[in-house]
Amino acid sequence: MLATYKGRRDAAESLRAETGAEIFQCDVGSRDDRQALLEFARERFGRLDLLVNNAGMAPRERRDILEATEESFDELIATNLKGPYFLTQQAARWMAEQGRGRIVFITSISSYTASVNRGEYCVSKAGLSMAVALYAQRLAAVGVQVFEIRPGIIRTDMIAAVEQVYEEKIAGGLLPQRRMGESTDIARAVRAIADGLLDYSTGQVLNVDGGFHLRSL
C-alpha cells in the first residue's frame, strides 16, 4: 500500500503506523511529482493494482462567482482535476500492460450541486465525473475497471469551519439519513471496489451521501 500526501505529513505518518503503508510526498498538480510517484511505486512494488484519486482541496477563500479569482480557479483545477486526470493516464498505461487494475475517483455531490460561493470547486468535480466515464469506456476492454465514489457531506478538515451549519441543515431534513458522513463511509466503498466486489460494474457511480441524491415531492 502506498499513501501520498502534500501538506499533512502527520496524517500520512499516522496511516503508516496503523497499516504499514509506504508514504511518498507528491503534489498531484505537478507533472514531475506524478512521474516520481509512479517511478517509486514501480521500484517498490513492481505492479499497480489500485489507484485511488483522493487528492482534493477547497478554495482558500469562498467567494461569489462574480468575485472569484483566476488564481483560485487555476489552483483548484490543477489539484482536483488536471492532476488526477493525468496521473490516471500514466497509471492506466501501466495497468493496461498488466491486463488488470482498478481505478477510483473520489468526486463530490458538488459535481452536480451548484454552490455559487465556490464555483471553481464545483467545476473541478464536475470535470472529474466526466473523467470517470471517459476512462471507464477506454479501459474496459483491457481489464481495468474505473469507478466514481461521490461523497456527500463528510466530516473532514475541509468542512471544519462550516460543520455546525451543515449539522443544523441535516437535522432540519437535508439528508434522508439524518447524520453527517464519516471518512470510514468512504473507506468502505473503496474497500468494496478494491476487493473486486464490483468488477462487472465499471463506470458505476457510488453515491455515499446519506441519500442526498434522491429526489422527492
Q: Which residues are catalytic?
A: 121
Strand partners, 144: 101
Strand partners, 3: 23
Helix (H, G, I), strand (E, B) or coil at 42: helix
Helix (H, G, I), strand (E, B) or coil at 3: strand
Where do the DSSP E strands lie in the chain? 2-5, 22-25, 50-53, 101-106, 144-151, 205-208
Question: What backbone phi and psi angles, to 5 degrees, belong to 60?
Answer: -65, -25
What is d(CA 155, CA 149) in angstroms, rounded to the nearest whole number? 16
CB 141, CB 114: distance < 8 Å: no
What is d(CA 13, CA 3) in angstroms, rounded to the nearest whole number? 10
- 3-state SS of 8-32? CHHHHHHHHHHHCCEEEECCCCCHH
